[in-house]
Amino acid sequence: MAKIIVANWKMNPQTSKEAEQILVSYLKLVKGGRGKVKSSEIVICPPFVYLNSFRKKLQTPNSKLQIKLGAQDVFWEEEGAFTGEVSVKMISDLGCSHVIIGHSERRRYLNETDEMINKKVPVALKAGLKIILCVGEHHRENIHEIPKVVEEQVAAALNGVQKSHVGKIIIAYEPVWAIGTGTPDTPEGAMMAAVLIRKTAMNILGLAAKNLPVLYGGSVSALNVEKFISHDGIDGVLIGGASLDPEEFAKIVLSANS
Ligand code: 13P
């Protein structure tokens, strides 16, 4: 299966000019490896305000790269008086095929709860978007055991989701302690989490969730990406900091294709 590489730019960079510069340099760098690059699915999730200009850049007739656009969040109501929020229709209209839901930074700083995440999931799926659902524990006391909270987050987010939507669900295991710290989980730890996540998803969505893509995220870099994606059970990576450096991101994408 083609590996899925997702770039989460978070609240970076600060101007549209810089954002376009990063995208343009990145596109130039991966052009040389065009033939190989088509074997992975690349999704770039910039801040909402850059989506429109990115869509235009990614749709140029010469762009043979299949780079998809994703949003970093979405609201659960479809329209109305919800100041500051962004709807599924708005992001679809701007060319997004994917949306990140439940990132730990939103859980932490915006007090997003499992219940709120569970309201966003079906709305995004119904709109035809692919969701990248993020789960992960704050601390791990026993390195040989994935904390129960990971299972609980998956179960809560997918509660009530229609089985027919299984093909549109991607789950990213992002242990909070590994995000932005330079200390990633071990590939074995990520594998254990992926097994638990798929098992939990299968309890809700049935056998079809057996091949549900599970990504790893947390301090992924060009130096360590290979260790994660060389495992069959890890279907790709969700990258923060390293995805803002075009050279580093291009290296990651190329190693996922080698
Ligand atoms: P870093 O790659 O910067 O650790 O961030 C991971 C992440 O939160 C991606 O969503």
- Provide the pLDDT confidence category of residue 91 given band limits of 50, 70 and 90: very high
CA of 138 to the centre of ligand 1 (A): 14
pLDDT score for 33: 43
What is the tens place of the pLDDT at every residue in 9-60? 999 999 999 999 999 999 888 865 444 455 678 999 999 999 999 999 987 6
Q: Judge whether 103 counts as a catalytic residue.
A: yes
Within a 10 A sphere around the Cβ of 83, how many other Cβ atoms? 4
Question: In the structure, how many helices (H) and strands (E) does the chain have?
Answer: 10, 8
Q: Judge whether 20 counts as a catalytic residue.
A: no
Instruction: Provide the mean pLDDT of the chain.
Output: 93
CA nearest neighbour of 76 among 61, 91, 87:
87
pLDDT score for 25: 94
Which range among 53-67, 143-157, 194-208 shows the weakest confidence by mean pLDDT?
53-67
Decide: residue 10, CB within 10 A, 0-12 exposed, 13-18 middle, 19+ buried: middle
Distance in angstroms between the alpha carbons of the first and the last residue of the chain: 13
List pocket residues of ligand 1, CB cut-off 6 Å: 8, 103, 174, 179-180, 217-220, 238-242
pLDDT score for 129: 98
Joined together, the tokens standing for residue 239 give 């990258």
CATH superfamily, domain 4-256, is: Aldolase class I (3.20.20.70)
Of residues 41, 105, 112, 174, which has the active-site annotation?
A: 174
pLDDT score for 220: 98
Within a 10 A sphere around the Cβ of 175, how many other Cβ atoms? 27
Return the exposure string of 139-154: e unless at least 16 CB atoms fall within 10 Å of the residue's CB, then b: ebeeeeebbeebbebb
List the chain domain ranges.
4-256
Mutate to test the pocket of ligand 1, among 219, 237, 244 (most ligand atoms within 8 A of CB): 219
